[in-house]
Amino acid sequence: MTIIAASLLSADFSCLAEEVRRVEEGGADWLHFDIMDGHFVPNITMGPQVVQSLREKSRLFFDVHLMIENPEHFVEDFAKAGADLIVVSAESCNHLHRVLQTIRSLGKKAGVALNPSTPLTGIEYVLDQLDLVLIMTVNPGFGGQVFIPSVLPKINRLREMAGKRPLEIAVDGGINSVTAHQVVQAGASVLVAGSAVFGSPDIQQAIKMLRTGKTIV
Ligand code: DX5
Ligand code: ZN
């Protein structure tokens, strides 16, 4: 079944614990943390303290998406803070294999994110170190952007490349009831959604709609 990861970036930051409770009750599978440093992307969000504070409030799987330079300096902090999965951005890693090994040595699942313009070739030789690949379907930095359809064939190709490996393919950016269907058809197994979840008056229905790929009226 398709995994729904609710992105906190679109939550009300004045009451994060309450927002987490709302998506947990609404049926989200994962909580997605967008960590931005103002260098790798033109926005600043949160650090490990936020992850740690919310860890006590939720039983959800914590998916930490690092959009930062030098992620190797911070993976241990996020692991200790309670991340279950740590995703690094391929474009920020000079030594991707080493960072992935570090994440796994900390007992966490490891993932890599690829910007829309980044080809799959850079991950061909680290597939055995990966639990998840995050295909960015917008340019990272902000919630509420429009899905980039030219990325769709990359999902198909990655599924082919993965072969029989149990690799999760996640997509992030502009996921709504229409694009959810398209990416799942292409081979995505995890849908990250911010505005489609938190922007909905009925979170439970929104999550159900994303998971089934159907508009519920
Ligand atoms: C963008 C982030 C996303 C963002 C998605 O850089 O990685 O996780 O929250 O937001 P929506 O679902 O609104 O496009
Ligand atoms: Zn994200």
CA dihedral 36→172→31→15, nearest 10 degrees, is 60
Active site residue 172: yes
User: Which pLDDT score, from 0 to 100, does residue 89 have?
Assistant: 98
User: Which pLDDT score, from 0 to 100, does residue 109 have?
Assistant: 98
- 12, 29, 34, 37: the active-site residue: 34
Cα–Cα distances in Å, from 115 out to 23, 52, 91, 135?
Answer: 27, 27, 8, 7
CA of 137, nearest ligand number: 1
User: Which pLDDT score, from 0 to 100, does residue 15 have?
Assistant: 98
The count of other CB atoms within 10 Å of the CB of residue 82 is 17
Cα–Cα distances in Å, from 137 out to 64, 80, 142, 147?
Answer: 17, 29, 12, 6
Residues 146-196: tens digit of each pLDDT = 999 999 999 999 999 999 999 999 999 999 999 999 999 999 999 999 999
Cβ-based neighbours of 119, under 8 Å, separated by 6 or more:
154
Measured from CB, residues less than 6 Å from any atom of ligand 1 are 7, 9-10, 32, 34, 65, 138, 140-141, 143-145, 172-175, 192-196
User: Which pLDDT score, from 0 to 100, does residue 217 have?
Assistant: 44
Tell me, in angstroms, the distance from the centre of ligand 2 to residue 215's CA.
24
Q: Where are the beta strands (DSSP E) in the chain?
A: 3-7, 30-36, 61-67, 85-89, 109-114, 132-136, 168-172, 190-193
How many residues belong to the chain?
217
Q: Which two tokens stand for residue 200?
A: 């909905």
Helices (H) and strands (E) in the chain, counts: 8, 8
Residues of the chain with pLDDT under 50: 216-217
User: Which pLDDT score, from 0 to 100, does residue 213 have?
Assistant: 76
User: Which pLDDT score, from 0 to 100, does residue 116 have?
Assistant: 98
User: Which pLDDT score, from 0 to 100, does residue 215 have?
Assistant: 58
Q: pTM for the full model?
A: 0.97
